Amino acid sequence: MALIIPIIILIIWGILTTYTGLIPSYLIPSPYAVLQAFENLITNGTLLTDTVSTLIRVFLGFMVAALVAIPLGILIGWFKIADDLSGFIIGILRPIPPIAWIPFAILWFGVGLGSAIFIIFLGSVFPILINTIDGVKRTDKVYIESAYTMGASQLQTLRKVVVPAALPNIITGLKVGIGIGLMCTVAAEMIGSDNGLGYLIFTSTSMLDTASAIVAMLVIGVIGLAFDYLFTRTERKINW
């Protein structure tokens, strides 16, 4: 059932671009042209190289964001003074689009891996942070009071009661964060990189090779779908 709509879109796409001539090929290529571009990019190794480059950037930036946001979110969610001190700065920084930081990233880290990791970090860190804080704050007070009644220390309560209770929210934050991180990676690669799927999209469209650009876009979609599937499966296992 899930494939019905994609198949319909593919059929309409093929009819409009192949048989009617209503849409020029440089605007939207036919499915066959996209398939040919995919074959060419696989054959010359470009697609594999750019995909690996993008995945490395996403993984590194996302891991840095998770390592910062999860402990910080637990701290802010658990200690009121930390929440009071951080609320203002989080409220200011969170609405700023990560893309707005690209010029500064290039100035600070140069063109390449460092600037991309920085942009991905900014895109991923706040969804993970906010969901972690929310998960800690939403922990049922009955569980916390029961732990104290049984003689647990504050650290033991935090480690054995609060963090496990907040885990579903943390996983949700990670799922949202990886999606935003992937989008930020592609945007950063269009401006400050010489490889990656974003760079492939940018260079292909510059040369009116829209078929190759669509191949790169579809690969990005598949990567995002795979990440979403993995985190959704993890959520279900935790909820069980």
28 lies in a domain? no
Count structural domains, the chain. Answer: 1
> Is residue 19, in this structure, part of any structural domain at all?
no
* pLDDT value for 1: 66
CA pair distance 107, 191, nearest whole angstrom: 13
Is 162 within the bounds of a domain? no
- Whether 9 is in a domain gets the answer no
The predicted pLDDT at position 131 comes to 95
**Banded pLDDT at 159 (limits 50, 70, 90):** confident
User: For residue 50, is it within any domain?
Assistant: yes
Answer yes or no: is 184 within a domain: yes
Task: Give the domain CATH number at 90.
Answer: 1.10.3720.10
Mind listing the pLDDT tens digit for each residue in 60-115?
999 999 999 999 999 999 888 988 888 889 899 999 988 888 888 888 888 778 88
Print the domain residue range for 184: 42-141+167-239
pLDDT of the residue at 66:
95
- Is residue 232 within 8 A of residue 172, CB to CB? The reply is no
Confidence (pLDDT) at 8: 81
- Residue 173 falls inside a structural domain: yes
Quick check: is 192 in a domain? Answer: yes
